């Protein structure tokens, strides 16, 4: 797991053709906006989160975020335990996100 600043995370993500953006916030938080093309798996699902993460392609590089960077850090640690080697935590989370935001209809 690597903690990346907003700038590092964005720069690395833009150059990564094997990337998946993962949002681990709650559904209510996602309703306030999401980083475009992110997939959503709520870390508060507990075991359900683990089941969904285990279904992901472990060869991908995962760029993980939550509201502030705490839950996404935990998610990255869990993902590492599940044999996902490349999980990158967005420091400051969605609160400090400066990039594009999508809104689900």
Q: Which residues are catalytic?
A: 66
Place of tokens 């999508």: 102
d(CA 90, CA 63): 7
The radius of gyration of the chain's CA atoms, rounded to the nearest angstrom, is 12
**Element at 22 (helix H, strand E):** strand 19-23
């Amino acid at each position: 797991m690597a903690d990346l600043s907003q700038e590092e995370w964005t720069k690395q993500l833009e150059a990564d053709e094997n990337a998946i953006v993962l949002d681990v916030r709650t559904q209510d938080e996602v309703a306030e906006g999401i980083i475009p093309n992110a997939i959503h798996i709520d870390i508060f699902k507990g075991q359900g989160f683990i089941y969904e993460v285990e279904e992901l392609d472990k060869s991908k590089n995962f760029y993980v975020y939550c509201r502030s960077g705490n839950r996404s850090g935990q998610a990255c640690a869990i993902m590492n335990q599940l044999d996902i080697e490349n999980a990158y935590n967005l420091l400051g989370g969605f609160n400090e996100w400066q990039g594009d935001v999508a809104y689900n209809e």
